[in-house]
Structure 1
Amino acid sequence: MNINTHRQIDHALCGKPLMVEDGQSRVEMVTTASMAADEKGLVHGGFIFGAADYAAMIAVNHPHVVLGASDVKFLKPVRVGETVTAKARVQEVKGKKYWVSVSVLRADEEIFQGMFTCFVLDKHVLD
């Protein structure tokens, strides 16, 4: 598995890559107590979004890929201790613009879906 982007991402916060190949990726994230939004153990949606975003970035897998926009839906809540898997696939490419669909599942149940608009830049966004 050759990952060319987001190499310093914290896998505890955004998930661990399971597969990266041919415009596709799969990222697994085990939710932890530090992700809880409340005393009932509801995982804050930002962590689910982070795993989906990371999956989109490594599906594009270019050193200078950045997120430009997203259209997402949170379909089901996630509890602390549950494992989720983000599956991403590049759907379309026009020049430097990539559209990546992402589905996040808990077992076989879809809990999140989104379309991420990514851009591959000529140089690092901070340069």
Structure 2
Amino acid sequence: MGRYHKEERRKVLGEALAKDPFFTDEELSERFKVSVSTIRLDRGVLGIPELRERTRVVAQEVYSSLKSLDDQELIGNLVELKVGERARSELKIEESMVLSKARVARGHYLFAQANSLAIALVDAPMALTGSVDLKFLRPVRLGEVAVAEGKVEKRKQNKYWVQVTVNVNSEEVLRGNWILFAIDD
């Protein structure tokens, strides 16, 4: 990406952050080939808050659209949710989540992240997992960030077919197909 004039850079910067609010100032600095302080100045002029505040705002919007489970029941940080369509969450693998000898995540953490994301996609006050066809493709190590993406493939009455994949650095580590049941009350 070549250098931009100030006005053009600010316009493109605003568009980039509108599309993906999770860019750090350092990443933007590299992308636009300017200093971090220039990026901060540009954000200030555009009225765009720092990453921490942008993340908080996005999280509030996303979590407020949860229907089928409580925000405390979701495993991982919800990044995107369009109920009945698609969702994305992130889970950083911490010391308490790994097997002590192998230093890899216990499978139930990855399953819980994927399962809770699938349930979050159901457009009902409550949802239950009917069945899951799941494959673990490689272990996830301590410190890695598991990014789960879910998509509703089909819906028929109170039944949802949801596909969830979990990636680490764009390498697929888990793939599953869920059948979920929406329960009204």
Structure 2 length as normaliser, TM-score? 0.62
Secondary structure of 2:165's counterpart equals strand
Structure of greater relative contact order (alpha carbons < 8 Å, 6+ residues apart): 1
Secondary structure of 1:9's counterpart equals helix
Between 1:1-10 and 1:102-111, the stretch displaced more is 1-10
Quote the RMSD (CA, aligned, Å).
1.4
Residue deviations 1:44-93, cap 9 Å, x none?
11100111011111122422111111000000100111101100000011
Please identify the structure whose Cα radius of gyration is greater.
2
**Residue in structure 2 matched with residue 99 of structure 1 by the alignment:** 161
Q: What does 1:44-83 align with in structure 2 at a 5 Å threshold?
A: 44-83=106-145
* Aligned-residue offset at 1:40: 2.9
- Amino acid of the structure 2 residue aligned with 1:6: L
Q: What does 1:1-16 align with in structure 2 at a 5 Å threshold?
A: 1=62, 2-9=65-72, 14-16=75-77
**Residue in structure 1 matched with residue 149 of structure 2 by the alignment:** 87
Between 1:30-39 and 1:84-93, the stretch displaced more is 30-39
Q: How many residues align?
A: 121
* Uncovered stretches (5+) of structure 2, i.e. residues with no partner: 1-61
User: When you count strand as a share of all residues, which structure comes out higher?
Assistant: 1
- Per the alignment, do residues 57 and 18 of structure 1 end up closer, same or farther by CA in structure 2, a change over 3 Å counting? same
Structure 1 length as normaliser, TM-score? 0.88
Equivalent residue in structure 2 for 1:17, among 66, 78, 97: 78
* Uncovered stretches (5+) of structure 1, i.e. residues with no partner: none
Query: Between the two proteins, what is the percent identity of the paired residues?
Result: 29
